[in-house]
Amino acid sequence: MSKKRLGIYGAGGLGRESYFLAERINAVSNHWSDIFFIDDFAQQDGLILSWDKVKICSNPDETELFIACGEPILRHRLAKKVTAEGYALAALVSPNIQLPNDVQIGNGVALFDGCIVMPNVRIGENTCVASGCILSHDSKIGMDCYLSPGCVVCGHVSIDDCSFLGAGCTIRNNLVIGPNTIIGVGAAVVKDVKKQEVVVGVPARFVRWNKNGRVFM
């Protein structure tokens, strides 16, 4: 069986981190024949292609894609766009991570170096878990989320789709985090967070609604 190509959609900072991770995965598993970037705004060259060029020169049966974007709503839109064209989403899991047998991860998930994932964790499709995150037992992360470096998710926590967790935040056990929420950097979340709420601080408090679904204005 011939190896597939890997396209990383997004050539910014997260894209470069994802490329580095994919290279290390490839060094262990020899999974992809080559790795390239897709970016509609960066200067095009042999390593960076536009989406229109990818659709012309690559076959969905021979290419899988990873979404390298830290904005949850854009992760959702890009994943929807590429899968509608028949491309599968690739998961990138650091070779240094040991996953329990009952952990379930969806297509397009990333687990970067230093993540600790405990038993019976569920991670939805197209969610990115950055370096050093801790996902405790029986926690559930939805689709299209972004967990920044160093997040701590305690046991039996449920995080809904398109949520953004800022670096170093902690979510207490048995909480429910609604969809399209934003948890601020270093926040200590000790109660449920409702749909589209933005919370910051220690303890975390509501500051505004995430009306437009965007983290980065």
Where in the sequence numbering do the catalytic residues fall? 137
15 is in an annotated binding site: no
Query: What does the buried/exposed string (b/e) look like for 134-154 if buried means 16 or more CB atoms within 10 Å of the residue's CB?
Result: bbbbbbbbbbbbbbbbbbbbb
Q: How many helices (H) and strands (E) does the chain have?
A: 3, 23
Long-range contacts formed by 92-97: CB under 8 A, 24+ apart = 92/18, 92/21, 92/22, 92/25, 92/66, 93/25, 94/21, 94/24, 94/25, 95/24, 95/25, 95/28, 95/29
Residue whose entry in the numeric block shows the structure tokens 């303890």: 203
With contact defined as beta carbons under 8 Å apart, do 83 and 65 qualify? no
DSSP 146: E
**Paired tokens of 66:** 């990873």
Residues of each annotated binding site for substrate: 70
